[in-house]
Amino acid sequence: MIEVDAFLLNILIVLGLSVLVIFLGQKFRVPGIVGFIITGMLAGPYGLGLIQDQEIIQFLSEIGVIFLLFSIGMQFSFRTLFQMKKIVLLGGAIQVGVTVLVAAALAYWIGFPLPSAIFLGFLVCHTSTTITLRVFQDRGEVDSPQSRTTLGISLFQDLMSVPMILILPALSGQEIQPGQYAITLETALVAVFVLMLVLLFYLLPRLMDTITRTRSQELFLLTILFVCLAITWITSSIGLSLALGAFLAGLLLAETPYFHQAFATILPFRDIFTSFFFISIGMLLNAHILMNNPLLILGLIAGAILLKSVIAGFSSLALHQSLRTSVLAGIALSNIGEFSFVLILAGQEFAFLSEFTTQVFLTVAVWTMAISPFLINASPRIADRFCGLPLPHKLKVGSEPEMVSAPIALTDHLIIVGYGPNGRNLARVAGMEGIPYIIIDMNPDTVAEERKKGQPIFFGDAANPSILSHAGIEGARILAIVTNDPFSSRTITAMARKMNPGIYILIRTRFLRDIDQLREIGADEVIVDEFESSIEVISRVMRKYLAPRMAIDRVNSLIREDMYKIFRQPLSVGGILSEIAIRIPQVEVETLQVAPDSLVKGKNLRELEVRTRYGVSVIAIDRGEEVIPNPAGEFILEPGDRLVVIGRSDQLAGFAAVVEGPGKKDS
């Protein structure tokens, strides 16, 4: 019982201190990740020393990493990952290779032996996938170009960690058997590939089908946890990282029809356990080393961040990404990742580094991780500064030469920024209606594929004024920004408003908090995903209760008035839903309200020839508090009357045009 009591006490201390720090952090707008790191600093051995058994926190933090990467994997798919192959292979190879070479050269230059210098290069090249992707998740940028670039390069880093560990004995000078490590690595990768195929195409879909048919939430939850931990354990047991295994597990579930529910199920576990990961990072921060060697530590921190940012940014530029995306991705990849700690442990038996050097490196690595959320949050402003420099146009745009043709010769057209599901649907409707449009997208593979289909699309970063000018922003009527990058959307909005003061700017966003700021910058209309879903639900409910279409339109207009003000503050609206609740199965039933200028006002049902002329029947009329069922032919209609009518949808639409339309002569 003593061990259990100690365990509970440690958890209680961490949770209590976290609540206090996060609460105070909210007052000063400190990111939650930083709050957890501060909690670890306070509770750890270099702070107040409140936690006696750090292994407990370390264990919980590893579970947090698993759940975080598992949830991120579910937000992607194998098709998406295949589209990122260029980023993973080429971008990752450039970032890892150049970082190892430059870091090793610098270490060798200042006096480290060559094996130790190369080992330091291995350590420096890794990035904390957990921190960067969690920040992107909090900012709603998981699908943004900078997030995809960061994820692709991070995946390559995780894959390269296996051969790095296998090379360590040879690096130390030990004798090795020819081909030993290559065979081990090849076997591991083949095993993972075969496992993925088997699970994807056979076992996992059948398992999930069977489980969901039971309609048991408990069984579904247990199955999701089992799949996540089982795949993670298998990949880890063959030498790959826990994070990579969890990501693969998420990818596999993303290919099933049940990943939305699985994602919602795993979220509470992710949020709880990832907090322990960041707390464990904070516990590693040794302020004494920083205070005893301030110039050395601060210089190394700044040097590491600058070195990694430049190399990662160069890797992104080599992929023909825009300057803005490259700066954002470079800053996101500037920290030194937690997998470096695994490499340090693996290299201890070969004595590559002294005890002091090891402590200095750990201190620098952890501080770069702690600073990373602040840097990522500041990166849009830094990117804007770089984009404002007098640099070559090709560098800023980042597109391949064949992607950009002559400037668009259109006027009064629609510009669509982003070619995801919303962009595709908008382009499809614009084409059907004959509306001239042009598309700007940041995915070169998508651009190349759609150009072959004849779509008016080109590659570029719309946050760059030259790209907007290329799309004919000066002569465009509407700019629709439907990307998944809220910070880029703000830049595009401000830039477009400056270049064409009269353009109508419509922006799609995920977050309510963006509305006021986007309106201030220059957006004419902001569409919030979750609120539009709410409006559709409300409309469907009102139709089922036979509310008049005029009333439904009025409610929708009221909700959208002043950017969803009705949702953003308490508002009492009476009489929105109709009190008529008639259910007639297998029949089209609708309620129409007589407009003040309607052609039917003052006329009775007989002279209107409702049945013979329009093919519908009036089965009831609601006038004030009185409901008249099966009204007689002599019943005279007045403005405000609600007619419950029955008929086919086309017949109802024709009659509605007369009842609710303006006072035009019916033909």
pLDDT digits 0-9 by tens, 426-443: 888 888 878 889 998 877
178 in any annotated domain? yes
Q: What span, in angstroms and rounded, lies between the C-alpha atoms of 266 and 259?
A: 10
User: Which range has the top average pLDDT, 306-315, 370-379, 610-619?
Assistant: 306-315
- Token pair of 185 as six digits: 């690595």
- What's the pLDDT band for 580 if we cut at 50, 70, 90? very low
DSSP 8-state symbol, 214: T
Q: Are residues 379 and 419 in the same domain?
A: no
The whole-number pLDDT of residue 664 equals: 45
Q: What span, in angstroms and rounded, lies between the C-alpha atoms of 475 and 408?
A: 10
CA atoms within 13 A on the CB side of 559: 20
Residue 507 has pLDDT above 50, yes or no: yes
CA atoms within 13 A on the CB side of 388: 8
Domain edge (last residue) among 364, 387, 410: 387
Cα Rg, the chain, nearest whole Å = 31
- Residue 354's CB is within 10 A of a number of other CB atoms, namely 10
The whole-number pLDDT of residue 399 equals: 53
User: Which range has the top average pLDDT, 48-62, 221-235, 387-401?
Assistant: 221-235
- 60-64, 243-247, 393-397, 557-561: the lowest-pLDDT one: 557-561
Q: What span, in angstroms and rounded, lies between the C-alpha atoms of 199 and 213?
A: 19
- 120-134, 223-237, 259-273: the lowest-pLDDT one: 259-273
Q: What is the mean pLDDT of the chain?
A: 77
Q: Are residues 321 and 407 in the same domain?
A: no
User: Which range has the top average pLDDT, 84-93, 337-346, 458-467?
Assistant: 84-93
The tens digit of pLDDT for each residue in 155-171 reads 788 778 767 877 887 88
Tokens 């292979």: give the residue: 89
Q: By the 8 A CB rule, do 145 and 485 touch? A: yes
The tens digit of pLDDT for each residue in 469-504 reads 888 888 888 899 888 777 778 888 888 888 888 899
56 in any annotated domain? yes
Residue 545 has pLDDT above 70, yes or no: no
Residue 321 has pLDDT above 60, yes or no: yes
Q: Are residues 405 and 377 in the same domain?
A: no
The whole-number pLDDT of residue 535 equals: 66
566 in any annotated domain? no
> What total of structural domains would you count in the chain?
3
The whole-number pLDDT of residue 464 equals: 75
Handedness of CA 557, 562, 563, 566 (dihedral sign): negative
546 in any annotated domain? no
Average pLDDT over residues 529-548: 67
Residue 102 has pLDDT above 80, yes or no: yes
The whole-number pLDDT of residue 483 equals: 82
CA nearest neighbour of 366 among 425, 296, 287, 291: 287
The whole-number pLDDT of residue 76 equals: 65
664 in any annotated domain? no
Task: Identify the CATH number of the domain in which residue 412 sits.
Answer: 3.40.50.720
Q: By the 8 A CB rule, do 388 and 452 touch? A: no
357 in any annotated domain? yes
Of 326 and 78, which is predicted with more confidence?
326
By CB neighbour count within 10 A (0-12 exposed, 13-18 middle, 19+ buried), where does 227 fall? Answer: buried
Query: Which residue type sits at 94?
Result: I
Beta strand segments in 573-648, E = 589-593, 617-623, 626-629, 642-646
The whole-number pLDDT of residue 308 equals: 94
- What's the pLDDT band for 396 if we cut at 50, 70, 90? low
Residue 585 has pLDDT above 50, yes or no: no
Q: Are residues 383 and 409 in the same domain?
A: no
Task: Identify the CATH number of the domain in which residue 60 sits.
Answer: 1.20.1530.20
DSSP 3-state assignment of 618?
Answer: strand
Task: Identify the CATH number of the domain in which residue 605 sits.
Answer: 3.30.70.1450
- 512 lies in which domain range? 401-523
Q: Are residues 286 and 413 in the same domain?
A: no
The whole-number pLDDT of residue 125 equals: 92
Q: Are residues 443 and 349 in the same domain?
A: no
Residue 591: strand pairing partners: 644
The tens digit of pLDDT for each residue in 634-660 reads 888 888 888 888 887 778 888 888 888
By CB neighbour count within 10 A (0-12 exposed, 13-18 middle, 19+ buried), where does 646 fall? Answer: middle
Q: Are residues 324 and 412 in the same domain?
A: no
Strands 642-646, 504-509: parallel, antiparallel or unpaired by DSSP?
unpaired
Q: Are residues 368 and 249 in the same domain?
A: yes
Average pLDDT over residues 357-365: 85
The whole-number pLDDT of residue 584 equals: 43
From residue 71, how far is each of 242, 262, 267, 664 by CA, in Å?
14, 9, 7, 57
Q: Are residues 378 and 425 in the same domain?
A: no
The whole-number pLDDT of residue 124 equals: 93
The whole-number pLDDT of residue 568 equals: 46
Question: Helix and strand tally (H, E) in the chain?
Answer: 30, 10
Residue 417: strand pairing partners: 440, 481
- Token pair of 318 as six digits: 């080599």
Domain edge (last residue) among 507, 523, 539: 523
415 in any annotated domain? yes
Q: Are residues 182 and 325 in the same domain?
A: yes
- What's the pLDDT band for 37 if we cut at 50, 70, 90? confident
Q: Are residues 164 and 105 in the same domain?
A: yes
Domain edge (last residue) among 523, 551, 581: 523
Q: By the 8 A CB rule, do 599 and 666 touch? A: yes
Q: What span, in angstroms and rounded, lies between the C-alpha atoms of 605 and 594?
A: 13
The whole-number pLDDT of residue 546 equals: 67
The whole-number pLDDT of residue 239 equals: 64
Q: Are residues 31 and 84 in the same domain?
A: yes
594 in any annotated domain? yes
Q: What span, in angstroms and rounded, lies between the C-alpha atoms of 579 and 576?
A: 9
Of 188 and 90, which is predicted with more confidence?
90
CA nearest neighbour of 589 among 551, 624, 618: 618
Q: What span, in angstroms and rounded, lies between the C-alpha atoms of 134 and 102?
A: 28
Average pLDDT over residues 323-330: 87
Q: By the 8 A CB rule, do 602 and 636 touch? A: yes
The tens digit of pLDDT for each residue in 276-305 reads 877 887 787 777 787 888 899 999 999 999
CA nearest neighbour of 459 among 313, 325, 309, 310: 325
By CB neighbour count within 10 A (0-12 exposed, 13-18 middle, 19+ buried), where does 206 fall? Answer: exposed
The whole-number pLDDT of residue 199 equals: 64
- Token pair of 55 as six digits: 């292994």
